[in-house]
Chains A and B, each alone.
Chain A
Amino acid sequence: MNKSKFYIDAGTTWSKILEITPFGERKYSVYPTCEARKFNLEYEKITGHTTDKAAKNYENEVVSLAKGAKIHLENNFVALDLGSRDIKWVKYKNAKFCDMDWNSSCAAATGATIEMLLKFYDVEVESLKYTDEKYPVTCGIFGLEKIMDDVSKGLDPSVAISKFIHGIAYNAYNFTKNPDKICISGGFCENKCFIDSLKKYCEVLPLGRFVLVDGLALQA
């Protein structure tokens, strides 16, 4: 009997899973990585920061991103994946891969930091609104200091976090070498404050959280 095929992008905080049933139906799901680890599933291919990079079915995250983003757009584009602890992008020119970068390990100004800030200040992500001001987050720790200083002076924490997110968006724009358009992959697609902040600098197209698993499911 045919079985479903599973693909996983196991990030530091969240794991994104794609199931393709024997009938070709695609089912997407997201779980905390600590939970997803307990699943007894056999994956066709794996990617993500917490996977075994020496495994035979492992695929480089940038390769998964490039493949997954290419099915959305064939022409010139930059696809940016902003994760819990890293940021990576690829650029296609005339439908051919031409440039990329990956800051693989600094979590000071990425998704996990935002999640911690929201919990620490008890702020709902929906309450974050675009602010024209931004904190410099070239070093995320200095950015956090700005939040603490301003909140202690009476600034609403949701405004302070929004300024921090604007800083992350500006950083992402610079990291990708100031393109006209950025296609966003990852959890930040669901963060309206981030998307609105990035729109100040370029056209933005959110691709959702499952770009990497879509890339995994493509044949090489």
Chain B
Amino acid sequence: MTKDIIAFWGYPHPDLINKTKNLYPDAKWVDLDICFNYPPSKFTPDAYCGIIKNIFDNSFYLKERIIKILAGVGKDKCDSGFFAANLLKNEGFDVEMSYFEQTLPFDKLPDVPISKSNLPLKEKIELITANIVEKKDYSHLETSNAAFGFWGVPPNDLNILKLFPDNTHVFGWSRCVEAKNPANIELEMYVEPDVPTVFFAQTFCSKTLLAKYLADKYNGLYIDIDAIPSNSAYAKIEAFLRLR
């Protein structure tokens, strides 16, 4: 089988992305964080972050096609990303580790037009993640008045985002990605205090600590969801959006 895929997770350093694009101009880029419903690799423990499970499931399913994996392993991702990169290296993958830890001062950060736009929330998150590799200019998007906030990483199942109204603004790591500052903890912890916000993290992810802390501080809704959201998770978000 032809090797034709450059795989990645997190937000690999832009210099590394550009270098790899030049080396493999015809390669297809695949974000291993995303759930494609490939067969389980059974590599991770049952109780483990769904996103990291996706990384293993996708990597092993696509193994014969993957040229190289660009692996976010620094503060811009998480410890599990670091462990995953090393394990996949041990399993014969060509893994290039990426640390994208440079941060800008808060007042020097670029604008985040997607996060503040009136696009459907699911589309916002999809554009932000797609923009990691295929950079496009979204400065033309108009800013909406935030009715709600969504704080967190792109969820394993994006369908929960359909519950939110279009004038929901994006915060947390997803906003950091749009601002090209995935390790910026100050930006990650920023929310608008008067905007009712859902603080989301994947179950078993260390970002649950941040999400719980911020939800308590800003009187928002803390929610952690494993692979597929339960009816309870949908109901909690729906109730929060209806009742606040």
* Interface residues in chain A, defined as those with a beta carbon under 8 Å from any beta carbon in chain B: 53, 60-63, 66, 88, 90, 96-105, 220
- Which of B1-9, B41-49, B183-191, B227-235 is the contact stretch? B227-235
Q: Assuming A53-B231, A101-B236, A102-B236, what are 11 further A-B pairs, CB within 8 angstroms?
A: A62-B236, A62-B238, A63-B238, A66-B239, A66-B243, A90-B239, A96-B244, A97-B243, A99-B221, A100-B240, A104-B231
* Interface residues in chain B, defined as those with a beta carbon under 8 Å from any beta carbon in chain A: 219, 221, 230-232, 235-236, 238-240, 242-244
- Measured CB to CB, the closest approach of chain A to B18, in angstroms, equals 46
Q: Closest chain B residue to A66 by CB distance?
A: B243
The reply to whether A100 and B236 contact each other, CB–CB distance below 8 Å, is yes
Question: Which B residues lie within 8 Å of A53 (CB)?
Answer: 231
Q: Closest chain B residue to A53 by CB distance?
A: B231
Question: Which B residues lie within 8 Å of A100 (CB)?
Answer: 236, 239-240
The reply to whether B239 and A104 contact each other, CB–CB distance below 8 Å, is no
Q: Closest chain A residue to B238 by CB distance?
A: A60
In the assembled complex, the Cα of A63 lies from the Cα of B241 at a distance in Å of: 10
Q: Closest chain A residue to B232 by CB distance?
A: A104
In the assembled complex, the Cα of A53 lies from the Cα of B238 at a distance in Å of: 13
The reply to whether B235 and A98 contact each other, CB–CB distance below 8 Å, is no
The reply to whether B219 and A98 contact each other, CB–CB distance below 8 Å, is yes
Question: Which A residues lie within 8 Å of B238 (CB)?
Answer: 60, 62-63
Given A60-B239, A63-B239, A97:B232 Cβ within 8 A: no
Question: Which A residues lie within 8 Å of B244 (CB)?
Answer: 96-97
The list of the 10 closest CB pairs from A to B, nearest first, reads A97-B243, A104-B232, A62-B239, A102-B232, A104-B231, A60-B238, A63-B242, A63-B239, A60-B235, A62-B235
Question: Which A residues lie within 8 Å of B236 (CB)?
Answer: 62, 100-102
The reply to whether B232 and A105 contact each other, CB–CB distance below 8 Å, is yes
Q: Closest chain B residue to A59 by CB distance?
A: B242
Given A101-B236, A102-B232, A103-B232, A60:B219 Cβ within 8 A: no
Question: Which A residues lie within 8 Å of B243 (CB)?
Answer: 63, 66, 90, 97
The reply to whether A61 and B235 contact each other, CB–CB distance below 8 Å, is yes
Q: Closest chain B residue to A64 by CB distance?
A: B239
Given A63-B242, A97-B244, A104:B219 Cβ within 8 A: no
Q: Which one of B219, B242, B243, B244 has the highest number of Cβ atoms from chain A below 10 Å of its Cβ? A: B243
- Measured CB to CB, the closest approach of chain A to B87, in angstroms, equals 34
Query: Mind listing 22 A-B residue pairs with CB under 8 Å?
Result: A60-B238, A62-B236, A62-B238, A63-B238, A63-B242, A63-B243, A66-B243, A88-B235, A90-B239, A90-B243, A97-B240, A97-B243, A99-B221, A100-B236, A100-B239, A100-B240, A102-B232, A104-B231, A104-B232, A104-B235, A105-B231, A220-B242
Question: Which A residues lie within 8 Å of B219 (CB)?
Answer: 98
- Measured CB to CB, the closest approach of chain B to A43, in angstroms, equals 19
Q: Which one of B219, B230, B232 has the highest number of Cβ atoms from chain A below 10 Å of its Cβ? A: B232
- Measured CB to CB, the closest approach of chain B to A96, in angstroms, equals 7
Q: Which one of A53, A101, A104 has the highest number of Cβ atoms from chain B below 10 Å of its Cβ? A: A104
Q: Which one of A96, A102, A105 has the highest number of Cβ atoms from chain B below 10 Å of its Cβ? A: A102
In the assembled complex, the Cα of A101 lies from the Cα of B236 at a distance in Å of: 7
Q: Closest chain A residue to B244 by CB distance?
A: A97
In the assembled complex, the Cα of A53 lies from the Cα of B230 at a distance in Å of: 14
In the assembled complex, the Cα of A220 lies from the Cα of B243 at a distance in Å of: 10
In the assembled complex, the Cα of A63 lies from the Cα of B239 at a distance in Å of: 5
The reply to whether A60 and B242 contact each other, CB–CB distance below 8 Å, is yes
- Measured CB to CB, the closest approach of chain A to B91, in angstroms, equals 37
In the assembled complex, the Cα of A103 lies from the Cα of B235 at a distance in Å of: 10
Q: Closest chain A residue to B231 by CB distance?
A: A104
- Measured CB to CB, the closest approach of chain A to B233, in angstroms, equals 9
- Measured CB to CB, the closest approach of chain A to B167, in angstroms, equals 19
In the assembled complex, the Cα of A62 lies from the Cα of B219 at a distance in Å of: 18
Question: Which A residues lie within 8 Å of B242 (CB)?
Answer: 60, 63, 220
- Measured CB to CB, the closest approach of chain A to B73, in angstroms, equals 35
Question: Which B residues lie within 8 Å of A105 (CB)?
Answer: 230-232
